[in-house]
Chains A and B, each alone.
Chain A
Amino acid sequence: MDDLLSEFLTETNESLEELDVEVVRLEQEPNDPELLSSIFRLVHTIKGTCGFLGLPRLESVAHSGENILGKFRDGELPVTPEAVTLIFESLDRIKSLLAALQETQTEPDGDDIDLISRLNAMAEGVAPPPAAAAPAVVETAAPEPVAIEEVPAPAPVEAAASEVETAKVSGEPLVNQLGGISMVDASIETLFRHLLKDDELKPYFDGLEMMIFQAKMVEYFTSILGGRDKYTGDIQEEFRPLAEQGLSDPHFDKMVACLQSALSELEIDDALASAVVAVFEGARETLLCKAEMEAKAAAAAAAAAAKNKSDEPDGAQKEAVAVVQSVRVNVDMLENLMTMVSELVLYRNQLLQMVRKYEDSEFSTPLQRLSLITTDLQEGVMKTRMQPIGNAWSKIPRIVRDLSLDLDKKIELEMIGAETELDRQVLEMIKDPLTHMIRNSGDHGIEQPADRLAAGKPETGKIVLNAFHEGGHIIIKIQDDGRGIAIDKVREKAIANELATVAELDAMSSKQIMQFIFKAGFSTAEKVTNVSGRGVGMDVVRTNIEKIGGNVELQSEPGVGSTFVVKIPLTLAIVSALIVESGGERFAVPQLSVDELVRVSDESEHRIEQVNATPVLRLRDTLLPLVDLNEVLGLKKVEKVISDDAVPAPEGEEAAGEETFIVILRSGVSSFGVIVDQVFESEEIVVKPVTPVLREISIFSGNTILGDGSVIMILDPNGIAEAMGEAIQSEAAAVDDDARRAQERAAAERSAILVFKAGTGESRAVPLALVARLEEIEVGTIEENDGVPVVQYRGRLMPLIEVAEGFKRATEGRQQVVVFADGDQSMGLMVDEIVDIVEDRLDIELASARTGVLGTAVIGSKAMDVIDTAYYLEKAFGDWFKTHGNMATNDRPTNKVLLVDDSPFFRNLLTPLLSVAGYEVTAVEGGEAALSLRDAGRDFDVIVSDIEMPGMDGFELANEIRTNGAWTNTPLVALSSFSSRADLEKGRNVGFRDYIVKLDRDALLDSLSHTLATVRGAA
């Protein structure tokens, strides 16, 4: 590319960035004369350079913009948001022209009439119409009143104006009212006949390629009269030569008159004719190429002025003098320098290590010097790559401004720490994520002014962008004082998108749940706006930030606001890393992802525990999954070398003294521990990309050469987390992929199931939700009462029941007991062994005739009996349910309950439960079956229905019951495996009285008696 042109592009782009910031400031401080003249100067310089380089489109847009700015400066025009928007629009146009220029090295074809005419209208003090309006409307809405008066119009000006108004209101474009393109063609034809008759105009138009000229006029005219096809040519091309020959306002007036008579000749009705004339009038500026002509005149004047004042440098030149102090250097060159310096550092380190071995070497002094200089050089080169973060922020004020206009919100932006420096490469990578987070804060965070006032907050929302250094990293905080993030919405969405199960979410802290917004496809915005809410975004933000070794966290307090905290390294080239060893090999772990180091031995407070044969680390009340690096990498653990003279420790002792090092790593939102054999010091390493041959091993993010010259791999915490997930999954069961996917689909319906063994050695299952506690009871404390074993438990006697015949109670040691409780009464089920707690669907596939067994279900890929708790409860104390039964039956007749649930397990579980509580239960497997009962004339006091059912679901069923048939007044209670506020709301809307989580027996019984009581009370 032409040097001059590339220089121009760089400079102009910089000026534009500066302008973006300054114009936003101008909107806030419209009366700052210094700011105004600075802006004016910048635009003026752009215009001047464009003129110099022969870039007419850029020049004319810049010129029109400058006009407005000039009027701002002279106080002739107030600084309004509309005007500023228009200025921004012209800056954007300039940017897009520059982009095209950069690509093709020439200005793109086309013109900017629409923009320039609006700019000019603004400069004239007429409010510009919205940019999206049809050209005809644009032109008619901004006619120059003076010009219209000059037209020898047959109709009064007011009439014409009102006609224009009606034409616009009627919505019919003028071109159609006129009678289509053919009539436009005829009008132009006639117009030109008249023009050529006029002695003053004839010389300009005579000798033109009449056919082409007229055709272009027809095209242009059709378009500005509101024709469907947009005019794409450049009418100014045609008129420019005429304008240069001196075609000006008086001539144009004559042309208007010619058009007038041409239209009357064609017997166009007066009102329509004047509307058409007005449109033509509106094109005056364009056709006469006024902007250009004026620009030329201005340029000539400026050149003359510059000549006169050559000894007195103006502002722009002064700036130039200041700029000379810096040199532009190609970025590649800097990158190269950086690489070389990095290598230099490596060698310096190697040398230092070698020399350290020899005391008093003659090399030490010069090497010391070399070392110092290398360090200085490294810092110096790093500094050349450092840029203030403000450079990445330059676009943000503009974005916030546009956001607040788009969304009708009032947003104030505060930027703190713009001077904080960071590596250019990091800066580039952080730009887009930052922009996205700001948009997010503006769109999702800040509320509408009315809502803010209602919430007792100031009307104007505030976004604070804060950057600062902290321990070798840069922290960027993006804070808004908006509505914050509703945790339950995130939960719901996470469930709906199958990102987590209810049980998983229950186990998470709200901070962890919050991080779900960084998952792909996640958006809590209720509607998708053009600003954000498409759900592609926050995950990209996180990926991009993690790509540069950073991390992002979200903190939010409902009603108070949210804060994104981004932590990124200062530079990518050199990172601080922890060196660890596993299987005799060393690895580097980026310090940024290391949360802490834990040493575990028998004496330490932290211990490794086993959960279902998977090791976990209990660390300050949290359980962290553990993974052995040796296993992940397929390495053999190297036994610690015991030196020859040391006495070999006896087996037991060695095991007792053994220590384990655990590196706690963070990957995204989750933390986990990595067991390593050794932990060494942390070292500054130069990250080098891995060779393509090894790139598919996701566990490594790069490699490096250590000070001693050895090559080691850099571990990628995300890769380890992935590998760990795979390892756990592959262990979990030999479930093939399809089955696993099916399970995942059904995840929402899963429940926790306790698996135990008793008597026969077969596994049996019971839903965990029915279990109160698991206990171990000293055999010695078990007493016999009426032949029934009992134990004193929490100050009461608890009967112990055996699961099956042939069950042998433990005779010594401890007896495992599964405790079921209700209020202060408990019952213990004696079992041999608690096997596991698994998450699975409870589908009873084979019903059982045996007492105490509901049926057989496949749990964790094994078939097992699901025990009937109701049976054992009754066996334990016959009166247990009777207390409930009494509550329900004593003072009222038997209530009839219709239970609708597709799951045979729940039907089997709830039917006895409700029966013993005194209800008469009819259970059906779906909505259709329920409705056929209704149509058969059956009557119920209350209907309990599942929500998720194949075919007709609970909501549909409720809707049908509420609107048709005999059951419109029968109370409905919903039963669901998960309940969120939205579900609750939806349920209420379709007529459910209450919403019960499945397996919550007490809540169901309470709800039923409460519902019935209310209905009775009301009746």
Chain B
Amino acid sequence: MSDTTNNATPETREFVTIMVGDQLCGIDVLKVYDVLGPQKIARVSLASAEVAGLLNLRGKIVTAIDLRRRLGVEDRPEGERGMSVVVERRNELYSLAVDSVGEVLRLPADKFEPNPATLDSTWRQFSEGVYRLEEGVLVVINDDSLLDYGRTPVAA
């Protein structure tokens, strides 16, 4: 994971920053397929609560995951419309519904720290580690475990 980008030197990684609730998170920029504004999402009955539904992204069907629910954060207040980050995993597109999408940050690898022991267990499951920034802690989202519905119980 550290031997990644073209823009970044081996010592740095680039992240798209997102807000989930009050928490600043980062997704590896290379994993991001697209960033979307509010979308028309078709609900899917019987699906677990974290699956917000399906959306049509230029002819491709994308599964929308509510990141707040997946991470165990309380639901977004009614009426506030968030944004979505589309990531690709094993030829499938997933749209992660978040509160907002911020800038792309280039962060030095030596600032990377493992998950603090106090991190919530749900978060720990989907977090690679953290960066301590001036504006707060950035949690690096592990998209692979996040979207691995085969392994982690869907009705988490």
Contacts and interface: CB of A to CB of B under 8 A. Distances in A.
Interface of A: 343, 346-347, 583, 585, 633-635, 688, 691-694, 696-697, 699-700, 703, 705, 709-713
A705 B154 contact: no
Contact of A710 (B56, B65, B94, B154): B56
A570 B55 CA distance: 29
B46 interface: yes
Interface stretch (B20-28, B37-45, B129-137): B37-45
B61 A711 contact: yes
Among all A-B residue pairs, the 3 with the closest Cβ atoms: A633-B45, A691-B63, A711-B54
A634 B59 contact: no
A705 B59 contact: yes
A712 B45 CA distance: 11
> Chain A binding site: helix, strand, loop or mixed by DSSP?
mixed
Contacts of B53: 711
A694 B51 CA distance: 9
Interface in B133-156: 147, 149-150, 154
Contacts of A633: 45-46
Interface in B65-117: 65, 90, 92, 94
B47 interface: yes
B45 A634 contact: yes
B56 to A, nearest CB: 5
Given A343-B59, A692-B150, 11 more contacts: A346-B59, A633-B46, A634-B46, A691-B63, A694-B63, A696-B154, A697-B46, A697-B47, A710-B42, A711-B42, A711-B53
A705 B56 CA distance: 7
Contact of B45 (A635, A692, A705): A635
A693 B154 contact: yes
9 contacts: A346-B59, A633-B45, A691-B92, A693-B63, A694-B51, A697-B46, A700-B44, A710-B56, A712-B42
Contacts of A692: 90, 92, 149-150
A691 B61 contact: yes
A711 B56 contact: yes
A27 B69 CA distance: 70
A280 to B, nearest CB: 65
B47 A703 contact: no
Given A692-B150, A711-B54, A705 B61 contact: yes
Nearest to A339: B59
A709 to B, nearest CB: 5
A708 to B, nearest CB: 10
Nearest to A343: B59
B56 A709 contact: yes
A700 B55 CA distance: 16
B49 to A, nearest CB: 12
A631 to B, nearest CB: 11
A337 to B, nearest CB: 15
Nearest to B93: A691
A53 to B, nearest CB: 38
A585 B46 contact: no
B84 to A, nearest CB: 14
Contacts of B94: 691, 693
A713 B59 contact: no
B154 A688 contact: no
B87 to A, nearest CB: 13
Contacts of B55: 711
A634 B47 CA distance: 10
Given A691-B92, A692-B150, A703-B61, A713 B44 contact: yes
A272 B106 CA distance: 93
B51 A693 contact: yes
Most A CB contacts (10 A, CB to CB) among B43, B45, B63 go to B45
Interface residues of B, number: 23
Contacts of B92: 691-692
A693 B46 CA distance: 12
Contacts of A691: 54, 61, 63, 92, 94
A709 B94 CA distance: 18
A206 B65 CA distance: 82
Contacts of B59: 343, 346-347, 705
A696 B153 CA distance: 12
Given A691-B92, A692-B92, A693-B149, A710 B40 contact: yes
A336 B66 CA distance: 32
Nearest to A584: B43
B44 A694 contact: yes
A705 B53 CA distance: 13
A713 B150 CA distance: 21
Contacts of B56: 705, 709-711
A347 B59 CA distance: 8
Given A691-B61, A697-B46, A703 B54 contact: yes
A10 to B, nearest CB: 29
A346 B59 CA distance: 7
A341 to B, nearest CB: 12
A346 B56 CA distance: 11
A633 B45 CA distance: 6
Task: Pick the most buried of A343, A346, A697, A700: most chain B CB atoms within 10 A of its CB.
Answer: A697
Given A703-B54, A705-B56, A710-B40, A693 B45 contact: no
Given A691-B92, A692-B150, A585 B43 contact: yes
Which of B55, B61, B92, B150 is the most central at the interface, judged by chain A CB atoms within 10 Å of its CB? B61
Contacts of A711: 42, 53-56, 61
A582 to B, nearest CB: 9
A949 B56 CA distance: 64
A893 B63 CA distance: 85
Nearest to B55: A711
B149 to A, nearest CB: 5
Nearest to A583: B45
A367 B59 CA distance: 19
A913 B54 CA distance: 68
Nearest to A586: B42
Contacts of B42: 585, 710-712
A634 B43 CA distance: 12
Contact of A694 (B40, B47, B147, B150): B47
B109 to A, nearest CB: 32
Contacts of B63: 691, 693-694
Contact of A699 (B46, B54, B149): B46
B143 to A, nearest CB: 13
A692 B63 CA distance: 9
Contacts of A697: 44, 46-47
Nearest to A709: B56
A263 to B, nearest CB: 72
A905 to B, nearest CB: 44
Residue from A346, A691, A694, A712 whose CB has the most chain B CB atoms within 10 Å? A691
A703 B47 CA distance: 14
Contacts of B51: 693-694
A691 B55 CA distance: 12
A688 B40 contact: no
Contacts of B90: 692
A710 B94 CA distance: 17
Given A692-B92, A703-B54, A705-B56, A585 B45 contact: yes
A583 to B, nearest CB: 7
B133 to A, nearest CB: 32
Contacts of A347: 59
B50 to A, nearest CB: 9
Nearest to B46: A697
A410 B65 CA distance: 63
A693 B61 contact: no
A49 B149 CA distance: 52
A343 B154 CA distance: 31
Nearest to B150: A692
Contacts of B45: 583, 585, 633-635, 713
B54 to A, nearest CB: 4
A633 B47 CA distance: 10
Contacts of A700: 44
A409 B44 CA distance: 56
A667 to B, nearest CB: 18
